[in-house]
Amino acid sequence: MNTLSEAPFSAIKHDQRVADFDTIAAALDYAAQGENGICFYNSKGILQQALSYRDLHENAQNTARKLNGLGLKRGDRVAIIADTCAEFFVLFYGCQYAGLIACPLPYTIYLGGKSAYVARIAGLLKAADAKLLFLPNTLDVLKEEFSTTSSVPILCFSELDNMQGHSDVQALGADEQAYIQFSSGSTSEPKGVMISQRAISHNARAILRECIRITPEDRAFSWLPLYHDMGLVGFSIAPLFAQTTVDYITPANFARRPLLWLQLMAQNQCSITYAPVFGYKLAASRFKREENQFDLSKIKIAGIGGDMIHADQLDIFSQTLAPTGFKPQSFTPSYGMAESTLLVAYRHGIKTDQINKDALEKNQIAVPDTNPATSLHLTFCGKSLQDHTLFVGDANGTPIAQRRIGHIYIKGPSLMSGYCNGGSCQNGFLDTGDMGYLCEDEIVITGRHKDMIAINGRNIWPQDIENTVSSLEGLSNARIACFSVTEQDQETVIILVESALTDPNARDELINRIKAAVNASEGVSTKIQLIPLKMLEYTSSGKLSRSRARQFYLSNKTAIN
């Protein structure tokens, strides 16, 4: 076992080629000629395994030969539970060489328990039309349960070890699909996004050349789940297209020890990382200067994505981590989605737009306002990638003026081929489902269209209410979900707050504090429900699922009232 101080692989020593490959397999073929690779660390920060791209290449090709002996046809979909381990990478890239379409699925025992998790995977298998499912060895105990909910053959990762390889392999070509990515909002109606080799090649090129401006000295670090586009594309496929070394810890180990993320980045002199805002918020809350002496000055890209970007929480991170040499200008707000492979727009450095809240809610327009009492700050996410088009329009797709809030539409070579269950882009443009506005051609996100709450002629964004609640003392790390339901023929704003409080007086006091704060900030009456810890679910990108929270509320309404 390697010690904490060791960091395998260093700067690229051969000629770096940056995203000039037509396929994922071609990118791995070239990366295998160098000395870099991927590293896996455990919860104590000890290096568990280092896998060079050369070894990954060899193992993936051997796995491809074994896959070819399973009776699968070219283009068949192979589902893989995406644990953060070397076996997942070998299988994923093995599918590329075997001519099969890999489909990473969540490695998360959902809070509803094993049965809910098994049922969810069964739904994803059906949506993907998967012909085979691979399980991490740690989920072998669920193999029988998976078998009862799906007719798909199931193998554990280790079962490939003793299989014989069959014939030569033919990798997926430039005109074929690359993999299937389930979008982060996929819940009751999962949407499998089909990404082509051309789309991933274009998006990797944009990520590496435009956004990151990758160099041979760069090294990346990720704790993001590999079944989400930001983890899979941003911190496996894209780095591969530049032969860049990546260090990993699991999402679970990050949740238990968020400072391990920062400590290992400092130790390995990593320069690139990405996370949702909550990741930075959680790490900052655990940092104590007197206990942590490490250097983050090497970080040049501290990307933010996966959810609404609250600049005030990032300010807290940069101020708290200032003693480590962290540079606030390394923050890289980004806008992306699985349907566009990953990245849609980005900017270097935080810039906010201070606008009038009343005009936003009543008239759907972003009017500048410098009065703190009547305004709110929204974060710019930059301009669209080169060779891509982004505009804001009405529900019919007609462009509207800058600073008018509308639907966000995108078009470009990074767009998906379509959804597994049908449906694609209209006239080449995709209605993202996100709402926002343009200002000086930079996009500002205001929320998801389906999440918007309409109350008394006002459009209220639930994340504003959730942010207000989380700013209250004692609730900074609480799970909070806001949504609306129709009760007694009128729209009612519901706020679910996870709480461990058991004393009735303390619970009543907290409810009253929340009601007062939301009424003062938003001018709306709300119904507050305190629920047990770990009842609210998150999507694969770390966003709290409001649709699942709403479903939970409606299903348990009597019990929690």
pLDDT at 4: 47
Picking from 251, 232, 135, 223, the residue whose alpha carbon sits closest to that of residue 180 is 232
pLDDT along the chain (561 residues), means of 10: 62 88 98 96 96 97 94 96 97 98 85 77 93 94 90 93 86 98 67 96 98 97 94 98 97 93 96 94 88 91 88 94 96 95 97 94 93 93 96 95 96 94 75 93 88 73 86 87 80 90 92 89 85 79 75 71 44
Q: What is the dihedral sign for C-alpha 9, 12, 14, 16? A: positive
Q: Are 13 and 35 in contact (CB under 8 A)?
A: yes
pLDDT at 525: 81
Question: 302: Cβ–Cβ under 8 A, 6 or more apart, which residues?
Answer: 273, 274, 280, 326, 330, 331, 332
Tokens of 6: 């060791």
DSSP 151-195: -S-EEEGGGGTTPPP-S------TTSEEEEEE-TT-SSS--EEEE
The angle that helices 86-98 and 53-67 make with each other, rounded to 10 degrees, is 60
pLDDT at 377: 93
Distance CA 112, CA 532 (A): 13
Write the burial class of residue 153 (CB in 10 Å: 0-12 exposed, 13-18 middle, 19+ buried). middle
pLDDT at 425: 65
pLDDT at 94: 98
End-to-end CA distance of the chain: 53
pLDDT at 184: 61
Q: With helix as H, strand as E and coil as C, how does 101-156 read?
A: EEEEECCCCCCCCHHHHHHHHHHHHHHHCEEEEEECHHHHHHHHHHHHHCCCCEEE
Q: Are 40 and 47 in contact (CB under 8 A)?
A: yes
pLDDT at 177: 98
Tokens of 456: 């008394």
CA distances for 458 relative to 173, 433, 483, angstroms: 51, 19, 14
Picking from 77, 341, 331, 307, the residue whose alpha carbon sits closest to that of residue 233 is 341
Tokens of 68: 């070819």
Distance CA 440, CA 403 (A): 9
Q: What is the CA radius of gyration of the chain?
A: 23
pLDDT at 164: 86
Domains and CATH numbers, the chain: 452-560 (3.30.300.30)
Question: 525: Cβ–Cβ under 8 A, 6 or more apart, which residues?
Answer: 493, 515, 519
Distance CA 35, CA 485 (A): 56
Distance CA 122, CA 40 (A): 29
Tokens of 43: 């919860």
Q: Are 227 and 104 in contact (CB under 8 A)?
A: yes
CA distances for 522 relative to 446, 460, 493, angstroms: 16, 8, 11
CA distances for 88 relative to 66, 134, 378, angstroms: 15, 9, 38
pLDDT at 66: 95
Distance CA 455, CA 273 (A): 39
Helix H or strand E encompassing 516: helix 504-522
pLDDT at 3: 41
Distance CA 64, CA 57 (A): 10
Write the burial class of residue 179 (CB in 10 Å: 0-12 exposed, 13-18 middle, 19+ buried). buried
